Amino acid sequence: MNIATLSLLVFISIAGAKRLEQLGNKCLPGNNHKLSPSPEKSLLGCEVYKEKSCCTSEFTEELANSPIHKIGNFSWTQCNNTLSPRCEAFMVHIECFYRCSHNAIFWRNPNYPSAIKHAPVCASFCDGWFDACKNDLTCAKSWISDFKMSAYGANTCKNPCKTFSQYFRGGKDLCENMWGMSFVYNGTDCLQLNFTLPNPNDDLVKKLFGGSNGKPKSRSLACISSFKITALVINFVAFLSLK
C-alpha cells in the first residue's frame, strides 16, 4: 500500500468522527438558540432536553401553557380554533426538537443555517401526528411559505381554513411538507421526537455521523482530535519524502 492510499484511508475513517466533533457541541444559529448546548434547571415544555439544551427555560414557557395560541408572534391557531390537545402535543415535540435538541444541527440547512433540512423523523411519529391532527383546522399546507407574514413574524391566512386531512394525505405528506423541507419520513434510521431518557437520538447521530461502518466511534479515536491525526499524517508524509 502506498502512502497516498494510506493517508486517504486514515482521512476517510476520521471524516465521520470529525463531523461529530465539530458539531457535537454547537447549536443551530439564530431563532433564540443558545451558542452551545448546556444544562437548564427546568425546561417546562421540553423537559427531556434539560441536561444538554440549545433552548432556554424561558423560551419553553410558551410551550408549557396549553392551549398554545402563539410562539412569539407566530400563531398556531390561525383559524381561531385551538388545536386539540393530542395534536398540540405532537406540535410541541417537534418544536422542542428544533429549539432545544443539540442533535438538530446535524441536519442544518446549508442555505438557511438557522433551519434544518431532511431530518429523518420516525414513520410512526409522523403517522401518529397525522392521526392526532386530522380533524384540526389550518389554512396552510406549508407553515413556512403559505401564510401572509407581517414584518413582526405574525402569520395570517391567505388560503381557506380546512382540516389537516384536507391539506395533507397522511403522515408522510404532513412530515415532509408542513415545516417545509425540515423533515423526511423514515422508518429505519430515524429521529424519535417523543422519547424518555436516555436520548435515543444521540445513538442515531453516532451511527450516522460518528465514524466508519455505521458503528459508534471507538473511545480511543474520540480522544485523539482529528486535527492531531491530520498533523500526524502530514508529518509522516513529509518524513517519507525526505527519506
User: Which residue, judged by CB position, is nearest to ligand NAG in the bound state?
Assistant: 152
The region of 8-16, 35-43, 109-117, 151-159 touching ligand NAG under the rule CB under 6 A is 151-159
| 39 versus 160: smaller Cβ distance to ligand NAG | 160
Which helix or strand (DSSP H or E) is residue 147 part of?
strand 147-149
End-to-end CA distance of the chain: 17
**The Cα angle at residue 53 between residues 49 and 56, in degrees rounded to 5:** 105
| 51 versus 62: smaller Cβ distance to ligand NAG | 62
The region of 4-12, 104-112, 152-160, 225-233 touching ligand NAG under the rule CB under 6 A is 152-160
The region of 96-104, 108-116, 149-157, 218-226 touching ligand NAG under the rule CB under 6 A is 149-157
| 72 versus 113: smaller Cβ distance to ligand NAG | 72
| 148 versus 228: smaller Cβ distance to ligand NAG | 148
Q: What whole-number distance in Å separates Cα of residue 103 and Cα of residue 119? A: 10
| 58 versus 239: smaller Cβ distance to ligand NAG | 58
Q: What whole-number distance in Å separates Cα of residue 241 and Cα of residue 224? A: 25
Q: What whole-number distance in Å separates Cα of residue 184 and Cα of residue 154? A: 26
Among 120, 171, 210, 211, binds ligand NAG (CB under 6 A): 120
Q: Between β-strands 147-149 and 155-157, what pairing exists: parallel, antiparallel or unpaired?
A: antiparallel
In this structure, the number of other CB atoms found within 10 A of the CB of residue 152 comes to 8
Binding residues for ligand NAG, rule CB under 6 A, total 18
Q: Does 153 bind ligand NAG (CB under 6 A)?
A: yes
Q: Which of residues 22-81 bind ligand NAG (CB under 6 A)?
A: 72-73, 79-80
The DSSP secondary structure of 205-239, one letter per residue, reads HHHHHSSGGGSPPPHHHHHS-HHHHHHHHHHHHHH
Q: What whole-number distance in Å separates Cα of residue 99 and Cα of residue 32? A: 8
Q: Which of residues 88-117 bind ligand NAG (CB under 6 A)?
A: 89-90, 93
Residue 52 CA: distances (Å) to CA of 24, 101, 162 = 11, 8, 38
| 25 versus 77: smaller Cβ distance to ligand NAG | 77
Binding marks (x or -) toward ligand NAG, 165..204, rule CB under 6 A? Answer: -------------------x-x-xx----x----------
In single-letter form, the type of residue at position 32 comes to: N
Q: Does 157 bind ligand NAG (CB under 6 A)?
A: yes
Q: Which residues of the chain form contacts with ligand NAG (CB under 6 A)? A: 72-73, 79-80, 89-90, 93, 120, 128, 152-153, 157, 161, 184, 186, 188-189, 194
